[in-house]
Amino acid sequence: MKLHILGVCGTFMGGVAQLAKAQGHEVSGSDEHVYPPMSTQLQRAGIRIHQGYRPEHLQPSPDCVVVGNVMRRGNPAVEYVLDAGLPYTSGPQWLGEQVLAGRHVLAVAGTHGKTTTSAMLAWILEDVGLDPGFLVGGVPQDLGVSARLGSGPFFVVEADEYDTAFFDKRSKFVHYRPRTLILNNLEFDHADIFDSLTDIQRQFHHLVRTVPGSGRILVNGEDRALQEVLEQGCWTPVERFGTVEGVDWRMELLHPDGSAFRVHHAGGIETIRWGLLGRHNALNATAALAAAVHAGVEPERAAGALCRFQGVKRRLEAFAEVDGITLYDDFAHHPTAIATTLAGLRARTAGRIVAVLEPRSNTMRMGVHKDRLAEALGDADRVYLYAPPDLGWDTAPVAAATGARVMDSVTALVERLAEDLAPGDEVVIMSNGSFGGLHGRLARALQARAPRGDSRVEGA
């Protein structure tokens, strides 16, 4: 079958493309934003990518058009699909029907930590030899790709609450029918499609309704919003994880930076020592361990796999060290994620932490979280805030509270950082996009000023 995917370079749709290719379909796609690491993955998989959304990319007609949720009415490709009467479906529906049907689906949902927890869970199953399929919204360092079909009965999927497509406004995750479900946390987000936390809770309850009675729901026992979801009705056994007494899977930090912790459970105690940072990641690991046990993995083997877990690209990923300055790439785009990322780094380092933030998500650009940003950035010693002319809110209060340097161009930001950074600085670049190539541009600017040979740059 010939498939054409609209929005193919998104993390989810790119994963769908790779799975379709692995099933033997002829796959092509279109996108406006083509950049690594997804573009590299797709090209390596032999998937042809078209720049832009021109109708001729759909000629000759494919057997089916898989439509990403970034697509809107008025888009030339969308209008052509409708006018020409081409068969079309959404990415989540295609995934649910063509890949997930008949498999034991392990889904990870929540406002934060979906990608990392999904990657942990997929890695555990891989490490113990179960050859799982997976679709993760990032690239796990241990697995090398964001999606794989796998030959085993298990499939791990990152379960996103964002809407499915322009013609299906339900959350993506209602298509997945999980048997094992992790509910990590729940806060208000995605203000472009949800009016309130209650709206999001309603979608989460739709997801809870799809888990069979023979399945398992693993829920953060410290999250009141998730408890309110379950109180609407639950027909599946529930186990809770957290740091408080009385939960089924209790995490205990052994080091403040999260690099070592224990998990207490009915079968014993597991100890994990690894390279990741932060209390949030230790909780993510606790949930992944519990889900793996529900899939039949021995707890000690799951813990051993976690000790070897290397993380996910763009999740506090150190990508360069130049002149004694360490540069990290981080996907954080919500105040809670920003705060937990910086807190984990602060617990490990005595050096100066420099936070460089692009408010890029729709919710951030709308200014919904602007009143929480100053507090979220509290563990940073210096803050740089990128504020393009079309940003929808005034950054002055955040700048006043944090002392942030506000820059309206990436070029000016690179120049200022190259002047200000000093050996020993730990620089966290936070964006859920390419940030105008800031990562590579800054690394090269620092290299230009550094003594010869005093640098390490990966992919810059």
- Extract the tokens encoding 212: 């069979």
449 located within any domain: yes
> How do residues 394-432 score in pLDDT, each as one tens digit?
888 888 999 989 989 999 999 999 999 999 999 999 888
The answer to whether residue 186 scores a pLDDT higher than 70 is yes
The answer to whether residue 452 scores a pLDDT higher than 60 is no
Please indicate, yes or no, whether residues 222 and 365 belong to a single structural domain of this protein.
no
Is the Cα dihedral 409, 415, 418, 421 positive or negative? negative
85 located within any domain: yes
Q: What percent of the chain has pLDDT over 70?
A: 97
> How do residues 100-150 score in pLDDT, each as one tens digit?
999 999 999 998 889 999 999 999 999 999 999 999 988 888 898 889 999
At which of 69, 91, 113 does a domain end?
Answer: 91
286 located within any domain: yes
Contact between residue 130 and residue 152 where contact means Cβ atoms under 8 Å apart: yes
At which of 60, 91, 122 does a domain end?
Answer: 91
> How do residues 308-363 score in pLDDT, each as one tens digit?
998 787 778 888 899 899 998 988 778 888 888 898 889 888 889 999 999 887 77
Please indicate, yes or no, whether residues 146 and 110 belong to a single structural domain of this protein.
yes
3-state secondary structure of 298: coil
The residue assigned the tokens 């800031």 is 438
Number of folded domains that form the chain? 3
Please indicate, yes or no, whether residues 195 and 82 belong to a single structural domain of this protein.
no
261 located within any domain: yes
The CATH number given to whatever domain includes residue 386 is 3.90.190.20
Please indicate, yes or no, whether residues 199 and 124 belong to a single structural domain of this protein.
yes
- Alpha-carbon span 173 to 182, nearest angstrom: 12
Please indicate, yes or no, whether residues 336 and 293 belong to a single structural domain of this protein.
no
3-state secondary structure of 301: helix
At residue 145, the pLDDT reads 87
At which of 307, 327, 354 does a domain end?
Answer: 307
- Alpha-carbon span 70 to 38, nearest angstrom: 16
Global pTM value: 0.84
Task: Give all strands (DSSP E) within 159-292, no chain letters.
Answer: 163-165, 168-171, 180-183, 216-220, 238-242, 249-253, 260-265, 268-273
> How do residues 260-299 score in pLDDT, each as one tens digit?
999 999 989 999 999 888 888 999 999 999 999 999 999 9
Characterize the bridge pairing of strands 104-109 and 154-158: parallel
Q: What rounded mean pLDDT belongs to the chain?
A: 91
Give mean pLDDT, residues 429-447.
88
Please indicate, yes or no, whether residues 78 and 148 belong to a single structural domain of this protein.
no
393 located within any domain: yes
8-state DSSP, 191: T
The CATH number given to whatever domain includes residue 14 is 3.40.50.720
Residue with the larger pLDDT of the pair 252 and 37? 252
Helix axes 299-307, 114-127, angle to 10 degrees: 110
312 located within any domain: no
Please indicate, yes or no, whether residues 184 and 330 belong to a single structural domain of this protein.
no
436 located within any domain: yes
Please indicate, yes or no, whether residues 192 and 59 belong to a single structural domain of this protein.
no
What lies within 8 Å, CB to CB, of 86 at 6+ separation is 58, 61, 62, 64, 65, 80
The answer to whether residue 453 scores a pLDDT higher than 70 is no
At residue 450, the pLDDT reads 66
Contact between residue 66 and residue 165 where contact means Cβ atoms under 8 Å apart: no
Please indicate, yes or no, whether residues 297 and 323 belong to a single structural domain of this protein.
no
Contact between residue 79 and residue 88 where contact means Cβ atoms under 8 Å apart: no
What lies within 8 Å, CB to CB, of 25 at 6+ separation is 1, 2, 3
The CATH number given to whatever domain includes residue 255 is 3.40.1190.10
Please indicate, yes or no, whether residues 26 and 50 belong to a single structural domain of this protein.
yes
Cα–chain center distance at 78: 27
Q: What percent of the chain has pLDDT over 90?
A: 68
Q: Is 350 exposed, middle or buried (0-12, 13-18, 19+ CB in 10 A)?
A: exposed
**Which of 130-144, 152-166, 282-296, 445-459 has the weakest average pLDDT?**
445-459
> How do residues 235-245 score in pLDDT, each as one tens digit?
999 999 999 99
The answer to whether residue 459 scores a pLDDT higher than 70 is no
- Extract the tokens encoding 436: 């105008």
Please indicate, yes or no, whether residues 114 and 168 belong to a single structural domain of this protein.
yes
At residue 454, the pLDDT reads 55
> How do residues 35-77 score in pLDDT, each as one tens digit?
677 778 898 889 999 999 999 999 999 999 999 999 999 999 9
Q: Domain range holding 26?
A: 2-91
The answer to whether residue 451 scores a pLDDT higher than 70 is no
Q: What is the dihedral of CA 19, 23, 24, 29, to 10 degrees?
A: -20
Please indicate, yes or no, whether residues 154 and 85 belong to a single structural domain of this protein.
no
426 located within any domain: yes
- Alpha-carbon span 107 to 291, nearest angstrom: 9
At residue 460, the pLDDT reads 46
